[in-house]
Amino acid sequence: MPSVRIGVDTGGTFTDVVLVDEHTGKIVTTKTPSTPANPADGFMAGVHKVLELHAAAPGEEPEGGPAPALDGVSGIVHGTTVATNQLLEDRADGTAHLGFVTTEGFEFLLEIARQSVPDGYGNSYFWVKPPRIVPVHRVRTVGGRLDHLGREVRPFDEDEAAAAARWFRDRGVTAIGVCFLHSYANPDHELRMREVLEREHPEAVVSLSSEVLREYREYERSVTTLVDAAVKPVMRRYIQNLSDRLGRQFSIMKSNGGVLSAAEVVHQPITTVLSGPAAGALGAALIAGTAGRPSVITLDGGGTSTDVAVVVEGEPSLTTEGSIGRYPCKIPMIDIVTVGAGGGSIAWISPEGTLKVGPRSAGADPGPLCYGRGGTEVTVTDAHVFLGRVPPHLLGGEIPLDLAAAKAGIEALAGKLGLTPERCATGILEISAFNQSNAIRQITVKRGLDVRDFPMVAFGGSGPLLACRLIDILGLPAAIVPPNPGNVSAFGLLTVDVKNDYVRTHVSRSPAPDALAGIYAELEAQAADALDREGFAEHVYARSADLRYYGQAYEVRVPAPGGAIDDAWCAGVVERFHSEHEKLYGYGYRDDPRHAVEWVNLRVSGIGPITRPSVARVPEQVGEASPVATREVFYERWGRTVIYRRADLGAGAVVRGPAVVEEYGSTLPVHPGFTATVDDHGNLVVVSDR
């Protein structure tokens, strides 16, 4: 029986690959350059490379030759942002062929939108609206009306529907989102609209709001549906390309912490937003949980950005208040805060003459100055290189770095600021660390959590580089750096279950238990059908509900137990809401009858469980850890600093700063006053001695 599973996470600079042999427990990790022009090329190169490494004898290099067969591979899981890149990058063609069908009289729904203040109060403008994803001239309306309970007020106008379909067909609009008023309560009119589109405009790709997001709030439901429609064509082409080249099906990571077969994902591509960062949070959660730390902050540092999340008792926090680029999307996703503070973040001087870092990035091409590919601006990576905190190469020597170019760039920037080069480089790293710490505060303090209660799991190529400073700035108890930190997201792809989410709006201050039971039964039946299509004999259902105090605008989600639904069950869910509201906001109205509790949305997650890979223990350290080299490194001053090779460190090994620990995909600078200890599973646990 095939026993090998492969996780492939496509990033902006590198494609990370992890192979797990379920028979032997062997784990193989590698990286290969990403190919932005066609991400499938980097994907295939990574799969072939990791299979060659797996087939090679221990200590041997792969011999090359024909690509290894995939016969022994039982599953491939992919983390990708292909589905949404054109929206995240605001590409001109991202929505050029997108149209919108809505209820007659609501053609300006996208223009009304929501009002917000995303850039604070100190700007020249006050109220800011997100841009329209579809211009008003590509909006068609159709007669017909449902009320909030789904009852038909006016019949669906089939003639207007046909005219709208032909209008889109004649103008080459090939991706269409449909969102009728109150279709969350009754999808009948939307289903009839799809039938008309299939008849009049069969080339069109169609997304219905009642299938994408069966939840009230028309603006968010409309935008979420339109984003789904916009990314469907590119996702279908990408998946077909990969399926043809692999000769088999594969699975794709979803934003909600689950995976889904590629054949199913093409029907709901919006669910793959943040698939790479979500996998990283889940992989870090498994690694930390195995090490006895079920509640942690995860920090995934890459070349362009840093993604942070919180794991509480082994489960990453979820939200439906996310966005894709500039567009709000109410799909379930792991609650991740992203900040433009990666290795490629550019250092620049503001008009006021102060040093700034990010969010603009040098990317992978041309990249930092030290890459030697024509980069002209100083980056965070150049500062690390100048200070000696990273080696003069990447990936174990595969990519040499130009130290002279980094030094010249730092010196030029320092001259403009009137600083010494060391002061300038240290300032760049300090600003980057504070940018990351602010993202961590958003995900903890703003959610009612004390950041000092959580160790931090630092991973990704640049994640461990500022771990010591973040411990100091935030008062963290420890930072944990897993083995092969650059591949944690790819490893995380192999740790997640198949998962689908279903929601139904049911607004009521005193819902009848029978009504709740009926809705949950319908949602669980939908989940069962999807899991059956995925081939799962075992089904797990996780219920939850969104509640609020009557008069509030937004809800708090709480778990809802399985089993029979009666008055006692309802009272238990309401009690959970009171407790969660008090924890989040510092107050509750548990004993105040003037503040009724209102139920808003009912949710079910259908889960198909998998066997997770185990995290192996590492051999004990024999004697004291020995450094492999020394070099000049600047921490508080220049000094000859010991360099350790991580592969040489066994369980119990202790590295005291100042020092540097190097490995294939990342580097950990251990500052003076810090100690890094290897635990039983090979994690470096960094603590402050101060």
Residues 251-279: pLDDT tens digits?
999 888 888 888 888 888 888 877 778 88
The 3-state secondary structure of 198-228 reads HHHCCCCEEEEHHHHCCCCCHHHHHHHHHHH
Read off the pLDDT band of 397 (50, 70, 90). low
Read off the pLDDT band of 299 (50, 70, 90). very high
Read off the pLDDT band of 38 (50, 70, 90). confident
Query: 507 by DSSP, 3-state: which?
Result: strand
**Among 82-86, 538-542, 549-553, 610-614, whose mean pLDDT is lowest?**
82-86
Q: What is the pLDDT of residue 78?
A: 92
The model's pLDDT over 219-245, given as tens digits with 9 standing for 90+, comes to 999 999 998 998 888 888 888 889 889
Q: What is the pLDDT of residue 92?
A: 37
Beta bridge partners of 152: 146
Residue 307 near residue 346, CB atoms below 8 Å: no
Q: Tokens for 108, please give them.
A: 């300006």
Angle at 224 between CA 583 and CA 342, to 5 degrees: 70
Q: Taking 90 as the threshold, does the pLDDT of residue 459 lie above it?
A: yes
Q: Taking 90 as the threshold, does the pLDDT of residue 85 lie above it?
A: no
CA-derived radius of gyration, the chain: 26
Read off the pLDDT band of 247 (50, 70, 90). confident
Q: Tokens for 318, please give them.
A: 């979820």
Give which of 538, 44, 494, 5 is closest to 253, Cα–Cα. 494
E strands within 262-376? 296-301, 306-312, 315-316, 318-319, 322-324, 327-329, 333-334, 337-339, 345-349, 355-361
Over residues 245-253, the mean pLDDT reads 87
Backbone phi, psi, residue 308, to 5°: -125, 145
Determine the distance from the C-alpha atom of residue 382 to the mean position of all C-alpha atoms in its chain, rounded to a whole number: 27
Q: What is the pLDDT of residue 93?
A: 46
More confident of the two residues 69 and 564 = 564
Beta bridge partners of 78: 8, 252
In single-letter form, the type of residue at position 476 comes to L
More confident of the two residues 132 and 68 = 132
Residue with structure tokens 């960062």? 277
Q: Is 477 exposed, middle or buried (0-12, 13-18, 19+ CB in 10 A)?
A: middle
Give which of 603, 596, 496, 519 is closest to 558, Cα–Cα. 603
Q: Taking 60 as the threshold, does the pLDDT of residue 487 lie above it?
A: yes
Q: What is the pLDDT of residue 295?
A: 95
Residue 229 near residue 206, CB atoms below 8 Å: yes
Distances in Å between the alpha carbon of 646 and those of 306, 624, 639, 659?
23, 13, 21, 12
**CB contact set of 480 (below 8 Å; sequence gap of 6+):** 287, 288, 291, 293, 296, 455, 456, 457, 458, 683, 684, 685, 686
Domains, in order of start, for the chain: 1-81 (3.30.420), 87-237 (no CATH), 498-608 (3.30.1490), 629-688 (no CATH)
Q: What is the pLDDT of residue 22?
A: 80
Q: Taking 80 as the threshold, does the pLDDT of residue 367 lie above it?
A: yes
Residue 597 near residue 548, CB atoms below 8 Å: yes
Over residues 127-141, the mean pLDDT reads 82
**Among 157-166, 265-274, 537-546, 629-638, whose mean pLDDT is lowest?**
265-274
The model's pLDDT over 58-79, given as tens digits with 9 standing for 90+, comes to 555 555 555 566 777 888 999 8
**CB contact set of 674 (below 8 Å; sequence gap of 6+):** 468, 471, 656, 657, 686, 687, 688, 689
Is the previous residue joined to 366 through a cis bond, with omega within 30 degrees of 0? yes
Q: Is 96 exposed, middle or buried (0-12, 13-18, 19+ CB in 10 A)?
A: middle
Read off the pLDDT band of 655 (50, 70, 90). very high
Q: Taking 60 as the threshold, does the pLDDT of residue 447 lie above it?
A: yes
Q: What is the pLDDT of residue 10?
A: 86
Cα gap 648→234, rounded to integer Å:
45
- Which of 57-71, 91-105, 108-122, 611-625 has the highest mean predicted lDDT (pLDDT)? 611-625
Q: What is the pLDDT of residue 60?
A: 54
Q: Taking 70 as the threshold, does the pLDDT of residue 87 lie above it?
A: no
Rounded to 10 degrees, the C-alpha dihedral 355/356/360/366 comes to: 30
What average pLDDT is seen over the chain?
Answer: 88
Read off the pLDDT band of 603 (50, 70, 90). very high
Helix (H) or strand (E) holding 106: none
Q: What is the pLDDT of residue 183?
A: 95
Give which of 519, 511, 517 is closest to 571, Cα–Cα. 511
Pairing of strands 638-645, 659-662: parallel
Q: What is the pLDDT of residue 446?
A: 83
